[in-house]
Every structure is written in C-alpha cells, then in structure tokens.
C-alpha cells in the first residue's frame, strides 16, 4: 500500500476550520428551528382559538320565509312579525291564492347584507306549480323587539311573485325608513302607466311590457310576466325614491289567478323614467328592495 505523502497532510489540516464552521452553522440552524417551533407551540397553547360565527354562512330566517310563502300563497294569515308598512292582518283571507296549483315550496337561495346598521336577508323560494313554476321573494329585516333583546326577523315588505326565469338579485332598499306617499302621490300619467303595466304583467303580455318600457330593440318574447292572472284593483304606490337611474316606486298590486277564487297582494319595485312627461316609461322591475340596483331594460331576456 502506498503511504500518503507528507505534502498532502497540511492541506487536510487546513480544511478542518472550514468543516467546523459548517458544523456550527448547521447546529445553529437546527437550534433556531427548534426555538421557533417551541415558540409557536407555546403561542398555540396559550392563545385562545378564533371564534367562528357559523351564523354568517347559513340563513337565519329560512323557516320564516317558507312559512310566510306558504301562508301568502294559500291566502292564510300569519302570526309572524311584520314591519309597520304592512297591514296588521297580513293577507287575512280564508282561501285562494295559488295554493291549489302548488306541489311544493323549496328554498332556492338567499342573500344577506347590512343596511344602516340592520341586517337584511332576502329569500328566494321556488314554487313547483302544476302549470308553471314561480319564484317567491321574501325580504326580512332584523329588528330588536326591545333594548338588549336579540334581533328577530321581521317581514320587511309584501312578498313578490316572479317568473322562475330570470331571477334578479336584490340590493336592498332601507325598508324601515321608506316614507309613504301623501294622498296626491305620483302624477295621473304615472298611475295610469302602472295600471297598464300591472294588467300586462298579470297576463304576461310581452308586447305591452316592451312598449311600456319603450324598448325599441326588443321583441315581445323577451319580456315575461306572471301569466294566468288578472289585476283586480288599481296599483297602490307606497313610496318613491330618486335614484341615478330614474324614479323607483314601491307599488302594491292585487292579482287573482284565473284558477283560484281569491287573490293575493304583492309588492314590487319599479323603475320609471320620464316620470314628469306625458308618457312615463316603466323600464325595469324587481322584488321589494331591488329598486336601487335596477337598470333600464334589465328584465329583457
């Protein structure tokens, strides 16, 4: 065996400090990692776990919405709390509505937002009908019955009935602070247009809905109403709100289905342009609360 030459020994000795430095670096990194791990473990043990509010991810008024929709469609009174803008005997009828033609009601979707410090929750209920399907939109605002008591869902406006397709989203209006109109209300021309619109919406007269919107680029088939119903009273304008897109009217309608002995009352928000002219235009509509987000011709399919 060949022995190493003396000339290679100094080179081996000179590499020992470098190895020691690397070893100390590795040991230092291991010590730092263990210290950080110990610190994070102590923080996890000593710190309180975050509180998850599961109520933010599920509806709080879904049961109320189903009960309201069922009572409203069947023409029965409800004992659930309602806002001041709704008659105390909410839909107090013996029979009628759409109930005879409804197979089932099921939650479709819901939205929640905060308006002037109060939670507003809007529920969309799918109506599985024997003839055609509808959507019942039920809006709630959460109100505390007395100081220090938890807020409870209060029906914010009459429900509305919409065609199953399309369904608009709701950007809620402040229901509680809507000021009701005086006896004069809007002009005669606006009220006349509202009645024409109500009759067209009841029978799903697409041509009239298009003409009342003055939508010159649409065809009648692009506008859809309820169908199979009759407007039996002059619409009642409950409130007006000026928006950048036009005048929003909260309007109360009374419709009677052709196949039912009694009707039901519903609220809708309608967007009116050229309200001061002799030919006002009803250019968009949606469930109560949708007024601020309505845009002209947004109901065109």
Q: What pLDDT shows up at residue 176? A: 47
Q: Are 95 and 262 in contact (CB under 8 A)?
A: yes
In a domain, 24, yes or no: no
Quote the CA–CA distance of 264 and 254 in Å, as a whole number.
6
By residue range, what is the domain housing residue 284? 188-293
Domain boundary among 163, 197, 219: 163
Report the chain's mean pLDDT, rounded to a whole number: 78
In a domain, 238, yes or no: yes
In a domain, 52, yes or no: no
Q: Please name every residue paired with 139 in a beta bridge, in sequence order, or none if there are none.
A: 122
- For the segment 59-86, the average pLDDT, to the nearest whole number, is 84
**pLDDT tens-place string over residues 169-212:** 444 544 544 555 555 678 899 999 999 999 999 999 999 999 99
> For the chain, how many structural domains are there in total?
2
Q: What pLDDT shows up at residue 45? A: 46
Q: Please name every residue paired with 205 in a beta bridge, in sequence order, or none if there are none.
A: none
- What percent of the chain shows pLDDT beyond 70? 69
Residues 141 and 67 occupy one common structural domain: yes
Distance between start and end Cα atoms, the chain: 95
In a domain, 114, yes or no: yes
Least confident segment among 81-85, 155-159, 188-192: 81-85
Residues 158 and 71 occupy one common structural domain: yes
Q: Please name every residue paired with 141 in a beta bridge, in sequence order, or none if there are none.
A: 120, 154
Q: Which residues contact 142 (CB under 8 A, 6 or more apart)?
A: 60, 61, 118, 119, 120, 121, 151, 152, 153, 154
**pLDDT tens-place string over residues 236-279:** 888 888 888 898 898 999 888 887 666 778 889 999 999 999 99
Quick one: which of 175, 170, 169 has its CA closest to 153?
A: 175
User: What is the band of 216 on the pLDDT scale with cuts at 50, 70, 90?
Assistant: very high
Residue 62 is encoded by which pair of tokens? 């879904």
**pLDDT tens-place string over residues 99-153:** 556 778 888 889 888 877 788 899 999 888 777 788 899 999 898 888 888 888 9
Q: What pLDDT shows up at residue 82? A: 84
More confident residue, 239 or 15: 239
Q: What pLDDT shows up at residue 90? A: 75
Q: Which residues contact 59 (CB under 8 A, 6 or more apart)?
A: 65, 107, 110, 112, 121, 123
Q: What pLDDT shows up at residue 165? A: 65
Residues 144 and 213 occupy one common structural domain: no
Q: What pLDDT shows up at residue 214? A: 96
Burial of 185 (0-12, 13-18, 19+ CB in 10 A): middle
Per DSSP bridges, beta strands 236-243 and 264-273 are unpaired
Residue 282 is encoded by which pair of tokens? 């009803």
Q: Which residues contact 263 (CB under 8 A, 6 or more apart)?
A: 96, 97, 229, 232, 254, 255, 256, 257
């Amino acid at each position: 065996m060949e022995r190493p030459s003396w000339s290679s020994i100094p080179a081996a000795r000179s590499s020992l400090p470098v190895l020691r430095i690397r070893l100390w670096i590795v040991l230092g990194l291991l010590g730092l990692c263990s210290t950080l791990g110990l610190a994070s473990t102590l923080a996890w043990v000593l710190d309180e776990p975050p509180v998850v509010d599961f109520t933010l991810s599920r509806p709080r008024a879904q049961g109320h919405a189903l009960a309201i929709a069922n009572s409203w469609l069947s023409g029965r009174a409800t004992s659930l709390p309602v806002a001041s803008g709704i008659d105390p005997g909410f839909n107090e009828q013996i029979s009628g509505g759409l109930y005879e033609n409804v197979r089932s009601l099921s939650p479709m979707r819901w939205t929640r937002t905060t308006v002037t410090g109060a939670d507003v929750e809007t529920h969309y209920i799918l109506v599985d009908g024997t003839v055609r399907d509808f959507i019942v939109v039920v809006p709630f605002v959460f109100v505390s019955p007395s100081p220090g008591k938890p807020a409870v869902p209060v029906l914010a406006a009459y429900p509305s009935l919409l065609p199953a397709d399309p369904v608009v989203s709701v950007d809620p209006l402040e229901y509680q602070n809507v000021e009701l109109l005086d006896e004069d209300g809007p002009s005669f021309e606006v009220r006349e247009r509202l009645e024409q619109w109500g009759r067209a919406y009841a029978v799903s007269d697409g041509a009239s809905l298009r003409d009342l919107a003055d939508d010159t680029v649409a065809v009648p088939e692009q506008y859809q109403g309820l169908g199979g119903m009759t407007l039996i009273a002059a619409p009642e304008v409950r409130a007006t709100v000026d928006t950048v897109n036009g005048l929003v009217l909260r309007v109360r309608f009374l419709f009677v289905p052709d196949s039912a002995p009694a009707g039901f009352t519903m609220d809708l928000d309608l967007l009116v342009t050229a309200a001061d002219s002799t030919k006002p235009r009803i250019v968009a509509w949606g469930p109560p609360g949708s007024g601020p987000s309505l845009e002209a011709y947004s109901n065109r399919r």
